[in-house]
Structure 1
Amino acid sequence: MIDKLEMFIALANEGHFGRAAEVCGVTQPTLSSAIKQLEGELGVQLVWRGSRFQGLTPEGQRVLDRARRIVGDARALRDEMRASHKGLAGNLRIGVIPTALPMVADLTTPFTRRHPNVRVTILSRTSAEILTGIERLDLDAGITYLDNEPLGRMAKVPLYSEFYRLLCTTGSALAGRDQVTWGDLAGLRLCLLTADMQNRRIVNQHLAQAGVAAMPMVESNSTIALLTHVMGGEWASVLPKKLADLFARGGQLCAIPIVQPEAEHLVGLIAAQREPPTPLIAALFDTARRVAEV
């Protein structure tokens, strides 16, 4: 039953029989047969079928919600039993907002030092993708904003407060300033993260409050792309302090504090609320609390 539920979840996530079969490591006929067997065991039709997958029936949607809880519990039980005999092992998948990537090693380095048999996969994701990934069981945990948009039923540990910096070249007109205001950014050629990023929504909010229209001529979901534009000398960007300081370390760029207000937003670790948590998540949260204290 658990294997069939996992195939059903994969089909709901992928929306395509072939891709779902690839995710599960089985052939498409095997997956289709498993879904039909599950429908027979439950006595309801789960999937609208035609020449291709056409979505879940209302009964299928209800089963999906329960299936995710059942499969999550089954995985947690397997992890707990394995940990009791062999210690922590396995693969931990963490989705991270792009602006938090510079600090991930502060968490994963001490974690893997304490648990050397755990492999960590770090994936750059938007805040919305992190929540969806955890809900769909594609991610085990995430690092995202804790205080700007609703998180739902998530366990969380604060890691650090994010402040904002204007990143520009040393030749910029503002480069000699100790600090700038959000209003000072009016008229600058800005390159910013794309609108689907929560960081961009935060930046838009503070610019709007200062009466500045956020109309960048260059947008990207990659902070590296923003960096290369700024290094060209024609652009400036607004980035979190940790990231801007990292880019400015070589001396070619300036990371100038933005004030009035000096905006602050909390970034932390999240995972699905589960009691008790899986051993991997419990160990990760323990490490996160130690990192936050430091």
Structure 2
Amino acid sequence: MRRRFKVTAEVLVEVVGEAPLERSAVRSVVGSVFVVGGGSGGTVVRFRRDGSEGVRGDPVAALEAVVDPVAIVDCEGVEVVGARCWAVEADGRGDGSRVWPDFAALFPECGCGGGDCVRCAAGMLTPRTVAVLWSAAGMLADLAYGDVLEFGDGPVDPAGGLWSVFGEFPRITWRQDAVWRRRAARSFDDLAADLAAGECPRPRCAAEEMALHLILRYAESAVDDGWSGLDTRFAGLPERGDDLDWALLSDVLFTDHDILELFDPGRDGIEDPDDDHNRRLDIGDYRPHAWFTTFDHAQPRDPRRPFRR
């Protein structure tokens, strides 16, 4: 039986030349190896072009492009099943002591007891809960981008066990191309950004619904399996009685759970708004091309926001 471990490494660096760093990042993006299926057209070219543009003028994105976390465990007897890397600008002391948002300040406890208090109603988003959700979202984003880099346009093969994230998506998405998957990977980052801004991570499109379902699942597993960070980097966050209430979060963060119907083989075709089951349940359009369409009740995200990779 294989045993799985989590290795954490933290490196503090000084950027002594942004231009050379940018050139290194562009070379790293352009030199990335992609696996693409037939008929993919300009997917690889477009992916490399967008990735190169994403690191220009952004030292954080450039660092994330050049750092290879897999290299620290490149040895016999170890098979890397997932890796993540992120960079932030350290504070003025330069000690890098905090590499995550101040969740205690972003999600303070109100305690007024008012029945119509918005902050009290959002009390399930406690600092410890948010820290785990934010960490899980970042990890899943890294893994999803990793799937795109490794498999490109190739169809998902869940039997192979090599896919980190997209093998857990509904079957109707398994033949989407790298561009679609890259947009789906950004959905994890979008929800993480909501949390980092002190906002409730309510999904704004189908892709974000899928992302949030996985974030909640991974966050709960992280706590149960002891790799959530609550005993280490997040140990200083205040504890509350309503911490880590995953069932409550699942109820209040979603308008509905219609997207989970896509996992039922007995309801193939339900993603189509013309399907009888779809119309009876009033599900709406869950065909893959509609996954990034903003819900009617939601505020659209900035279409110019960058991709991490």
Higher strand content, 1 or 2: 1
Which has the higher Rg, Structure 1 or Structure 2? 1
The higher relative CO (CA closer than 8 Å, separation ≥ 6) is in 1
TM-score surpassing 0.5? no
Question: For the superposition of Structure 1 and Structure 2, which TM-score range results when normalised by the shorter chain?
Answer: under 0.3
